[in-house]
Amino acid sequence: MSRIKTAILFILFLAGLFASQYAELYYPNEQLAVKTVQTLTIIFLALFLDSVIGGVMAKIQLYKVRYFLSKISSYIIYLIAIIIALGIWVEQTQSLVMAMGFIGAGIAIALQRPLMNLVGFLVLITVRPYEAGHRIEIGGEKGDVIDVELMYTKLMEIGGDDNYDQFTGRIKQIPNSYVLEKVINNYTKDFGFVWEEMMIPITYNSNLKKAKKIMEKVAEKVTGKFADKSETQLRKMTYKYLFEPRDIHPTVYIIPTDNWVELRLRFIVESKHRRRYVNPIFEEILDRFQKAKDIKISSKTTARIWDTPRRANY
């Protein structure tokens, strides 16, 4: 299908080239018609080149390289086509500059919002607060960046903490002007991990040290493979930002309450795959606690049962 499209565009370009030459030769006084045909020829040429280069880029195996090269080539082709088309309609350089000035002023007044989107796009390709492949949250919208266009950024939407940031299947389109107005949370730019917390309550007569050790060992078993990579990223951040290194190894914090002891396990997981690692950690901890005779997971009911003999002694 793409080859047929390319062939049609090439034929249209040749037809436009022939028509522009014919019109200029036989109808020299009809400048409006000549310039219109020449402009259409430039448009067909730009579309043809974009199609050809897009076909070449499609053969690149690295998807990130393929994406960025195809985007950049398209922008360059159409920018050159616009400049050439303006040159066709405005022959004198001084007039061209004045015309572009008037056009720019009109655009700034009439199209403020689209212009802000274009400025946001320039920020995205220069400052690069986020790029395709990053997981971000901006203006209340959260997802993975799948495309950055001139006017809009497209996100593959993810849910909130309740479903551990899994995809919803919806594609969100947000204005590029958001980068100038909204707070951007980037989950993957410099550090591709997040700290996760898991709370399990146990009774006061449980073996606290044993339960703590089990939780830390299970988390280390599942997330230990992230240690080198996460430490390397954190070390790089200390050179780039005013940032103190943090311990990336699983740690259990103990919080006493009126009814039970809260064991809060803190560990790191890949920001894009939270549930993939949280679920097996919880399952193994639960399994080991159930097998241990001296550890009992608490709840409101078990807390009341455990507390009954203590009350009887008063």
Task: Report, as an integer, the average pLDDT of 65-86.
Answer: 77
Lowest mean pLDDT among 11-20, 74-83, 260-269: 11-20
Q: Say whether both 61 and 90 belong to one domain.
A: yes
What is the reported pLDDT for 303? 44
Is 119 inside any structural domain? no
Q: Say whether both 103 and 135 belong to one domain.
A: no
Q: Say whether both 171 and 205 belong to one domain.
A: no
Is 26 inside any structural domain? yes
pLDDT tens-digit map of 198-228:
999 999 999 999 999 999 999 999 988 888 8
Query: Which of 142, 171, 186 represents a domain boundary (last residue)?
Result: 186
The answer to whether 69 touches 57, Cβ cutoff 8 Å, is yes
Query: Which of 107, 142, 158 represents a domain boundary (last residue)?
Result: 107
Q: Burial, 160: exposed, middle or buried (Cβ in 10 Å; 0-12, 13-18, 19+)?
A: exposed
Is 278 inside any structural domain? yes
Is 120 inside any structural domain? no
Is 14 inside any structural domain? yes
Is 113 inside any structural domain? no
Q: Which CATH number do you get for residue 149?
A: 2.30.30.60
Q: Which CATH number do you get for residue 218?
A: 3.30.70.100
Q: Say whether both 212 and 305 belong to one domain.
A: yes
The answer to whether 212 touches 261, Cβ cutoff 8 Å, is no
Greater model confidence, 39 or 184: 184
Q: Say whether both 299 and 223 belong to one domain.
A: yes
Angle at 100 (CA atoms; ends 94, 103), nearest 5 degrees: 140
DSSP conformation letters of 15-58:
HHHHHHHHHHHH-TT-HHHHHHHHHHHHHHHHHHHHHHHHHHHT
Instruction: Report the domain count for the chain.
Output: 3
Q: Residue 39: which residues within 8 A CB-CB, separation 6 or more?
A: 85, 88, 89
Q: Say whether both 227 and 288 belong to one domain.
A: yes
Task: Report, as an integer, the average pLDDT of 60-74.
Answer: 72
Distance of alpha carbon 130 from alpha carbon 235, whole angstroms: 21
Q: Say whether both 13 and 92 belong to one domain.
A: yes
Distance of alpha carbon 292 from alpha carbon 213, whole angstroms: 13
Is 114 inside any structural domain? no
Average pLDDT, the chain: 80
pLDDT tens-digit map of 129-158:
998 889 999 988 899 999 888 888 999 998
Q: β-strands 167-175, 261-270: how paired? A: unpaired
Query: Which of 139, 168, 186 represents a domain boundary (last residue)?
Result: 186
pLDDT tens-digit map of 6-55:
777 778 777 777 777 766 666 666 677 777 878 888 888 888 888 888 77
Q: Say whether both 228 and 162 belong to one domain.
A: no
- Of 245, 246, 262, 268, the closest CA to residue 298 belongs to 262
Distance of alpha carbon 15 from alpha carbon 22, whole angstroms: 10
The answer to whether 41 touches 16, Cβ cutoff 8 Å, is yes
Q: Say whether both 180 and 216 belong to one domain.
A: no
Distance of alpha carbon 24 from alpha carbon 38, whole angstroms: 10
Is 117 inside any structural domain? no
Q: Say whether both 173 and 218 belong to one domain.
A: no
Q: Say whether both 166 and 210 belong to one domain.
A: no
Tell me which DSSP letter residue 154 carries: E
Note the pTM of the prediction, 2 decimals. 0.60
The answer, yes or no, to whether residue 235 has pLDDT greater than 70, is yes
Q: Say whether both 161 and 200 belong to one domain.
A: no
| Structural domain harbouring 232 | 193-312
